[in-house]
Structure 1
């Protein structure tokens, strides 16, 4: 199992430790949706370790100014700006195939 991260290396390593404790063989790999070369390198690392990718779980999200935090109310759905939804969708869908362009 490959555990990827963009900036949360410590959390990725903690997850990998949990996978190892359950008998799995984790691989921690940095994955940057904004950098096509980094994407290729991450896919290459996983391919070298296991010969390919059988299942991909995309859990990237862009929250913009609305990062959920305990005790901070979230705006109602209808008040979220269209531009924020577009960026969220772009990250969640398009980024699997192509890097985001800022």
Structure 2
């Protein structure tokens, strides 16, 4: 049985906000990233952040999953698709270098 969401509907794109939080945590790290930093880059107010994502720790757990989906899948693909472990690791290293040095990505 579906339940109705209480209160006003969200006025922001949850997935876009999550991507922005992912990049912020990636660049600054967990400890250095404040709720104020997150609300600024995500473009939402603190109450909306808490309503949509819970607390900072819960948001970070979701960010880790998003990071793996968006930026970390190359390793699993390389190992699954290449015929040998040597070729899989070689591909994984090449793709890691390309992925992590792409324009617009944090340097940390």
TM-score (norm 2): 0.31
The answer to which structure has the higher helix fraction is 2
From the CA coordinates, give the structure whose radius of gyration is larger. 2
TM-score (norm 1): 0.32
The answer to which structure has the higher strand fraction is 1
